């Protein structure tokens, strides 16, 4: 799995951080997403897929490790 984020799209909702705090964080000044781990371990793949699915701005793209 490889994760890409588009900070220009991010609206700072924070739903990704709630879903996968080991992978995502937010900048203090404006809440924009920060990627902590672009290639997380398999144990976090479901949480990452969830984060991408619920992102209101569609700022998270996931490659590989298809969700079952």
- Which residue range(s) make up the domain with 59? 2-63
Q: What is the pLDDT of residues 5-55, one digit of tens each?
A: 999 999 999 999 999 999 999 999 999 999 999 999 999 999 999 999 999
pLDDT at 65 over 90: no
**Residue 14 CA from chain centroid, whole number:** 9
Q: Is 32 inside a domain boundary?
A: yes
CATH no. for residue 26?
A: 3.30.70.20
Mean pLDDT of 54-66: 92
Gap between the Cα atoms of 12 and 30, Å rounded: 7
Gap between the Cα atoms of 60 and 66, Å rounded: 15
Tally of domains in the chain: 1
Mean pLDDT of 49-65: 95
Q: What local confidence, expressed as pLDDT, does residue 68 receive? A: 56
Gap between the Cα atoms of 31 and 53, Å rounded: 19
Q: Is 68 inside a domain boundary?
A: no
Instruction: Say if CB 57 and CB 10 are below 8 A apart.
Output: yes
Q: Is 34 inside a domain boundary?
A: yes
Q: What local confidence, expressed as pLDDT, does residue 64 receive? A: 86
pLDDT at 66 over 90: no
């Amino acid at each position: 799995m490889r994760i890409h984020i588009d900070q220009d799209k991010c609206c700072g909702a924070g739903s990704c951080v709630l879903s996968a705090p080991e992978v995502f964080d937010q900048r203090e000044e404006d809440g924009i997403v920060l990627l902590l781990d672009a290639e997380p371990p398999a144990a976090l793949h479901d949480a990452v897929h969830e984060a991408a699915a619920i992102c209101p701005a569609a700022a998270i793209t996931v490659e590989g490790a298809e969700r079952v």
